[in-house]
Amino acid sequence: MATIIYPSPIFGPVRSRRLGISLGVNLLPGDGKICTFDCLYCECGFNADHRPKMHIPTREEVAAALENKLSEMKAEGALPDVITFAGNGEPTIHPRFNGIIDDTIALRNKYCPNARVSVLSNSTMIARPEVFEALQKVDNNILKLDTVDLEYIKRIDRPTGEYDLEEIIRLMKAFNGKATIQTMFLKGDVDGVSVDNTGDEYVEPWIKAVKEIAPREVMIYTIDRETPHRGLLKATREELDRIVAMLAREGIKASASY
């Protein structure tokens, strides 16, 4: 099974399907994975298979490494379109996340003022006031909501702690439109049970919740690399286009990555 473990604290730049030329920030160890989800589709593999031995980078280490990289890119005339917090797990679990966002915005303003600051989050930490505050500062606050079926979330996203779906949706609404919803659509089976969430029984309740959240936009996508669970399959272009069209009929801006 091929998995991707990203260097820390800076990796790339890489070309993102959704964001353009992206300079990655990994706030987790560079030799393993720490996440509040253990998704069956995660490109970094299962949590238990990649226990890190290195420490998480300090706020100071992140700022120094980011400034070095941005200075280098500026000298080369190849600045990023976006600085993206992603990497080996959930970035918002870092205890200095809010301060790191402040540092990143200052460095972005200094070296590449046209670049956007993005955070890819599974939404599990947004009840923490300091995380909620930090996410309001960034340009692209991208929050995961794969479905509103709690049993499906437990089967596919596999939260490692308590997961209060109603509270997460309430907090997504509290961003007052300063959020993007990101949703994975896939097919296949797990232990003989279908995990196809492209049908109306999953899509229609999800769209209802998305409409209540009123995000800036919705990004839907499907698996692009080998997954740790072998039974998963890509959703088709036609299925994703159908969901985008359903969102458009509700007045919700949406795009699909195939």
Residues 132-145: tens digit of each pLDDT? 999 999 999 999 99
Burial class from Cβ neighbours inside 10 Å (0-12, 13-18, 19+) for residue 192 reads exposed
| Res. 19: pLDDT tops 80 | no
Residues 55-101: tens digit of each pLDDT? 999 999 999 999 999 999 999 999 999 999 999 999 999 999 999 99
Are residues 78 and 119 in contact, defined by beta-carbon separation less than 8 angstroms? Answer: no
**60-to-10, 27, 202 alpha-carbon distances in Å:** 13, 12, 43
What is the rounded CA–CA span in Å between residue 187 and residue 194? 7
Are residues 16 and 41 in contact, defined by beta-carbon separation less than 8 angstroms? Answer: no
**6-to-58, 81, 88 alpha-carbon distances in Å:** 17, 20, 6
Q: What is the pLDDT of residue 3?
A: 82
Per-residue pLDDT band at 1 (split at 50, 70, 90): low
